[in-house]
Amino acid sequence: MRIEPGQVLFERWRIDHVVGSGGMGYVLAGQDLFLKRRVAIKCLHPHLAVLQQVHDRFLTEAQVMARIDAPQVVGIYDAFDWQGLPVVVMEYVDGETLGKVLARDPRPPQAFVRAVAEGVLRGLRVAHRAGVIHRDVKPDNIMILYDEDGEVDVRLLDFGVAQVQQELRHTRTGVAVGTVRYMSPEQVRDASRVDQRTDLFSLGVVLWEMLSGQQPWAHAQDDFDLRVAVVKDELRALPPAVAPDLRLLVERLTAKDIAARAEHATDALRLLRGGASTSQGAASSPDQKATWPRSHAAAAPSGSGNAEGALARNPDRPSARAPGPGVAPGAGERERPPQRGPEVAMLAAQAYQENALATWRWVTLPPARFRMGSPSDEVGRAEDERERWVTLSHPFQVMCFPVTVEVWGRVMGGGLATEVQGHLPMVGVSWLDAVRFCNALSEQSRAQPYYVLEESRVGVRAGSQGFRLLTEAEWEYAARAGTGGARYGPIDRVAWWSGNSHGAAQPVGRMEPNAWGLFDMLGNVWEWVLDTYTEQPPAGEDPAILRQEGYRVLRGGSWFNDMPYVRAASRNIGGPTDRERHVGFRIARSVG
C-alpha cells in the first residue's frame, strides 16, 4: 500500500499532497497537527519496503541525518513504520534544487557559486565531524533558498546513501552507491574505502559545473564510460574569467590524487574565505550580478540510490590448504587443491586456439560436499561471505568458458566483424537476457527449456535438463576446483583484472584454467548466477534462492576490478535488467 494525501498518521502527521518521487521513495507535503508546522514526509516505495536491506537503509537515513546538527542539513522530526512502510518526517524546505537553478542558467554568477560552496562546506564540516560521509553530493541534493534579505542559503538533502564510518551493514564492500557523474575516483574504485575527501571531490565537480557552464564528463556516452572518465580523465580547464581563488579551490577539491586534495571541509573553507577577502576579481567579474532571481517553487528531498560493482588495491594473501575436492575435511580445515590436470587444460587450450567453437566445450562435475565462503582474514572479504558447508547432490555440466560473442550470435543472431571479437566474452547482457539465451539454446537443442517466462516473471521447471545459469553454490564449487584459498592460482596467471587487462575485457581462454579445465572463472567478466541476493546465503543441500523481487548475484570479479574482488568467494549484486560492460555469464545444465 501507499500513503496517500488525506491520510493522518498517528493522529499527528496529516498528508496534504505529493511533492515528487525518486528511485527509492516518494515525498509528500504535510502538516504537523500538534506543533502547527509544515513538514515533508518521505516514504519508501512499497515494492522496495519488502526488501529488508533496503528497508533498513531507509530508516538508517533518519538516524544518520539526526546525528548532524547543522542549519545547512535538513532536520529530522520523526521516523517510524506505518503498516510495513518506513516513514521519515523532516523539515519542509521552501526552495528549489541547484539542479533546477542550473537548468535555467548553466553558469550562474560567481558570487552565487561562493555562497553555495560555503553553505555546502559548512554542512559537510558538521557531518564529517559526526562521522558521516554523504557520498552523493550533487546539484539535485543541494536545495537553494533565500533569507529575508535575499541572501542565498543552502540545505543538503538525502543522506540516504551516506556511509557512517565503521558501519558498513547496508553497503556491501565494493558496491558503489551514489551518482557516478559526481563520484570521486576512489568511490568508483572501492565504495567501502572512502573518507570525507570523497564529498569534497563531489563538491568540486559541482563547483566546476557552475563555473564552466558545462556538464562534467560530457564526452562519456554511458554509465560505464562515466566511471572510466572519473578515474582516468581530467576536467577541462575553467574559463579565464573565473576568479583565481575559485580556480584554486576547484583544483584542490578535484585532485585525483587523494593526498593532494583538501583533507577537510575546514581546509576548503579557508581557501574560499582567503580568496573572498583578498581577490578583487570575483567582485568585479563581468558576469557578477547584484542579486539572484528568487524562486518559491516548493521542494523537498527525493529518494535516490543504486548499486554497482567497484574495485580496490590490496596485496594478495597466501591461501590455506587442507584435504581435496569434494571431500569434507575436518572441523576448522580448508580444502587441499587437487593435482592440476595438465592434460585437460592443454586439450582445452589447443581446441580454443584451433576453433572458436571450442567455447562450446563442457566439463561434467560430480556431486560433492565443500566449504563455501571465505575465512575472516581473507583480503577483500565481505560480511556476506560467511563460511558454510554446502552439499551438491547431483552432477552437472559447466561450459568451459563464459558465453562469447560468437556463441551469443549463433544462438540469438547477429554478425561478427572479426574472429577476435568472436572470442570476447559477451557483455552488456542483463540477468533476464541470460535467462532468455538459455531458453533459446534449449529450444534450438530440442530440450525442454529450464525457465518459465511470463513477461518479467521467471520460474523454473524442476527436473528439466535445459540450459540454465549456475546456482551460486555450483559456481563457487566449479571455480574452486577443490582449492580453498582466494584463487586457484597466481592472479596474473589465471585472471584478467585491473592490473593486467589494459582497461577492457580480453578474449576468453588466454589465462590458465583451473584444475577442472574451466577458464576465466575469476576476472574478465562478472558472471550472473541463478540466485537472488541475500546477505546471509543458505547452507545445506543444493541451496538456491530465486525470488521475483530483489537483486541478482554476480560472481568472480572482472577486468575492471582490483585484486580483492577477483576471488572465488567474491559476490556482487545487480538488478535483473541491469546491463554493464564488465558483466557476462556462463551456462550449465543438469545431467543424470
Which segment, 21-25, 472-476, 533-537, is predicted with the most confidence on average? 472-476
Which segment, 59-68, 223-232, 297-306, 395-404, is predicted with the most confidence on average? 395-404
pLDDT at 310: 27
Whether the CB-CB separation of 81 and 194 falls below 8 Å is answered with no
Weakest mean pLDDT among 222-231, 501-510, 552-561, 564-573: 222-231
pLDDT at 536: 80
pLDDT band with cut points at 50, 70 and 90 for residue 189: confident
Q: Is the pLDDT of residue 288 over 70?
A: no
pLDDT band with cut points at 50, 70 and 90 for residue 427: very high
Q: Is the pLDDT of residue 418 over 90?
A: no
Question: pLDDT (tens digit, 9 = 90+) per residue, 225-276?
Answer: 788 888 888 999 999 999 998 999 999 999 999 989 999 999 999 988 765 4
Q: How many CB atoms lie within 10 A of CB 162?
A: 27
What phi, psi does 573 have (nearest 5°)? -135, 155
Q: Is the pLDDT of residue 349 over 70?
A: no
pLDDT at 45: 82
With a CB cutoff of 8 Å and minimum separation 6, the contacts of 574 are 307, 308, 309, 430, 431, 526, 528, 551, 552, 554, 580, 583
pLDDT band with cut points at 50, 70 and 90 for residue 219: confident
DSSP 318-360: PPP--S-TTS---TT--PPPPPP-HHHHHHHHHHHHH-GGGGG
pLDDT at 414: 65
Angle between helical axes of 110-129 and 197-212 (0-180°, round to 10)? 170
Specify the higher pLDDT residue, 312 or 175: 175
Angle at Cα 139 formed by Cα 159 and Cα 3, nearest 5°? Answer: 50
pLDDT at 214: 93
pLDDT at 480: 96
pLDDT at 514: 94
Question: pLDDT (tens digit, 9 = 90+) per residue, 142-172?
Answer: 999 987 777 899 999 877 544 433 333 334 4
**CA 170 – CA 190 distance, rounded (Å):** 15
Q: Coil, helix or strand for 463? A: coil
Q: Is the pLDDT of residue 329 over 90?
A: no
**CA 92 – CA 35 distance, rounded (Å):** 14
Percent of all residues in the chain with a pLDDT value above 90, rounded to a whole number: 50
Q: Coil, helix or strand for 554? A: strand
- Residue among 342, 373, 349 nearest 519 (CA): 349
Q: What is the DSSP-derived secondary structure letter of residue 295?
A: -
pLDDT at 201: 96
pLDDT at 359: 53
Sign of the four-CA dihedral 70, 71, 73, 75 = positive
Q: Is the pLDDT of residue 292 over 50?
A: no
With a CB cutoff of 8 Å and minimum separation 6, the contacts of 279 are 243, 244, 245
Compute the average pLDDT of residues 24-51.
88
- Residue among 555, 566, 569 nearest 496 (CA): 566
Angle between helical axes of 405-412 and 431-444 (0-180°, round to 10)? 60
Which segment, 179-188, 254-263, 452-461, is predicted with the most confidence on average? 254-263
pLDDT at 334: 33
Question: pLDDT (tens digit, 9 = 90+) per residue, 46-61?
Answer: 877 777 767 777 787 7
pLDDT at 37: 95
Q: Are strands 396-399 and 388-392 parallel, antiparallel or unpaired?
A: unpaired
pLDDT at 456: 73
Q: How many CB atoms lie within 10 A of CB 122?
A: 19
Q: Domains of the chain (ranges plus CATH)?
A: 8-91 (3.30.200.20), 96-284 (1.10.510.10), 342-590 (3.90.1580.10)
Specify the higher pLDDT residue, 6 or 48: 6
pLDDT band with cut points at 50, 70 and 90 for residue 331: very low
> 342: exposed, middle or buried (C-beta count within 10 Å: 0-12, 13-18, 19+)?
exposed
pLDDT band with cut points at 50, 70 and 90 for residue 287: very low
CA distances from 341 to 334, 348, 358, 361 (A): 20, 11, 18, 16
Percent of all residues in the chain with a pLDDT value above 70, rounded to a whole number: 79
What phi, psi does 469 have (nearest 5°)? -80, 155
Q: Is the pLDDT of residue 327 over 50?
A: no
Farthest CA pair distance, the chain: 82
Q: Is the pLDDT of residue 354 over 60?
A: no
Amino acid of residue 547: R
Q: Is the pLDDT of residue 173 over 80?
A: no
C-alpha cell at 444: 534450438
When the pLDDT of each residue in the chain is averaged and rounded to a whole number, the result is 80
- Residue among 348, 356, 341 nearest 405 (CA): 356
Question: pLDDT (tens digit, 9 = 90+) per residue, 488-529?
Answer: 999 999 999 999 998 889 999 999 999 999 999 999 999 999
pLDDT at 523: 96
DSSP 128-175: HHTTEE----SGGGEEEEE-TT--EEEEE---TT-EETT--SSS-TT-
Compute the average pLDDT of residues 360-388.
91
pLDDT at 103: 94
**CA 163 – CA 194 distance, rounded (Å):** 9
